């Protein structure tokens, strides 16, 4: 299902204008990363996709639904949202109950709930931890529980707010694996991230935001090579892209394979 955002503006009750005219279409199954400086409006934008925030002006459509005409509880059938901080999201006694909470609330029959929970736990490598209280797990695994509890809702659209924050290399790879699996299932994945190397290695489309507006939007290689424009929103290109630029490589490279191929020429 398409996401269509038309001239979206949003002003917080404090008077802070956080979004200043955003227009955007995201097709089904796209993997999109949103980057940009702190306070650029990234989280404010994605909170409009599941109705947590309502446009001050303009509109947001999830498929044929206008978010102003559907409550958050209904939008949850279509859009799953994994919070930046798992502790804002977890409350159940054990991992299994936590992951079952979402699909149960969507009213799915018990068998379907069981199947969805099992699948989400397997994908996030939590199958052994079903009986554990989420708060007895390390922050690394609590992040995976938060992820699993959204995956189990089987929504067409999954939003991840800073999935790799504070995660080590092993868990970043685990998260990349989950995103790849969602891609294969045809899910739309929208990720906010400051981890630009992670962004380069896992996303095909990149949107750079600055001061409530879209600065750049396009294929990852096009966007990530724009060093000067990205700097205006406090983003550096990925490490290997910067190296390629400094070495004067003709094409923009964004991962090891592309870099090594380019310098062999």
Partner 1 sequence: MAIVTLQNVTYKYPLTEAPVLQNVNLQVNEGEFVAVIGPNGAGKSTLCYTLAGFVPHFFKGELTGIVEVAGVETHQSSLNEWVLNVGLAFQNPFNQISGAKYTVFEEIAFGLENIGVPRGEMKPRVEKALALTGISDLADRSPYSLSGGQQQRVALTSILVMEPKVLVLDEPTSQMDPIGTREVFGVIRTMAERGMTVVLAEHKVEWIAAFADRVVALKDGQVLLDGKPGEVLTSPLLEEAGFGISRYTSTARKAKEMGLWKKDQLPVTLEEAVEGFRS
What residues contact residue 257 under an 8 Å CB cut-off, 6+ apart?
none
What is the nearest approach in angstroms of partner 1 to the Cβ of residue 69? 29
Among 194, 211, 227, 229, binds partner 1 (CB under 8 A): 194
Residue 229 has which token pair? 């424009």
What is the nearest approach in angstroms of partner 1 to the Cβ of residue 247? 6
Among 27, 122, 180, 247, binds partner 1 (CB under 8 A): 247
Among 7, 66, 131, 168, binds partner 1 (CB under 8 A): 168
Size of the site for partner 1 (CB under 8 A): 42
Do residues 19 and 10 make contact, with C-beta atoms less than 8 angstroms apart?
yes
Q: Where are the beta strands (DSSP E) in 172-212?
A: 188-192, 205-210
Report the alpha-carbon distance of residue 146 to residue 216 in Å, rounded: 30
Among 3, 146, 196, 223, binds partner 1 (CB under 8 A): 196
Name the one residue in this structure whose structure tokens are 């901080």: 85
- Can you say whether the dihedral through the CA atoms of 156, 161, 162, 164 is positive or negative? negative
What residues contact residue 70 under an 8 Å CB cut-off, 6+ apart?
51
- Of the candidate spans 47-55, 71-79, 94-102, 164-172, the one that interacts with partner 1 by CB under 8 A turns out to be 164-172
What is the nearest approach in angstroms of partner 1 to the Cβ of residue 146? 14
Question: Residues in the site for partner 1, rule: CB under 8 A?
Answer: 12, 14, 16, 36-39, 43, 84-85, 138-140, 162, 165-172, 194, 196-197, 231, 233-236, 238-240, 242-243, 246-247, 256, 259-260, 263-264
């Amino acid at each position: 299902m398409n996401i269509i955002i038309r001239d979206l503006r949003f002003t917080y009750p404090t008077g802070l204008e956080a979004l200043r005219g955003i227009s955007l279409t995201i097709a089904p199954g796209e993997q999109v990363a949103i980057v940009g400086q702190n306070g650029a409006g990234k989280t404010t934008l994605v909170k409009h996709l599941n109705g947590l925030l309502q446009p001050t002006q303009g509109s947001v459509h999830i498929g044929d639904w206008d978010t102003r005409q559907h409550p958050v509880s209904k939008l949850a059938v279509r859009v799953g949202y994994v919070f930046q901080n798992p502790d804002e999201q977890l409350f159940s006694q054990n991992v299994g109950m936590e992951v079952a909470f979402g699909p149960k609330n969507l009213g799915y029959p018990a068998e379907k709930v069981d199947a969805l929970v099992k699948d989400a736990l397997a994908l996030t490598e939590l199958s052994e931890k079903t009986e554990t209280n989420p708060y007895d797990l390390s922050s690394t695994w609590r992040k995976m529980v938060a992820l699993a509890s959204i995956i189990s809702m089987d929504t067409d659209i999954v939003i991840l707010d800073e999935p790799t924050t504070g995660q080590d290399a092993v868990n970043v790879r685990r998260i990349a694996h989950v995103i790849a699996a969602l891609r294969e299932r045809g899910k739309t994945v929208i990720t906010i991230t400051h981890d630009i190397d992670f962004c380069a290695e896992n996303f095909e489309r990149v949107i750079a935001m600055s001061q409530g507006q879209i600065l750049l939007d396009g294929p990852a290689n096009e966007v990530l090579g724009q060093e000067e424009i990205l700097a205006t929103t406090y983003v550096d290109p990925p490490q290997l892209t910067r190296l390629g630029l400094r070495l004067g490589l003709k094409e923009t490279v964004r991962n090891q394979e592309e870099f090594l191929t380019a310098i062999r020429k």
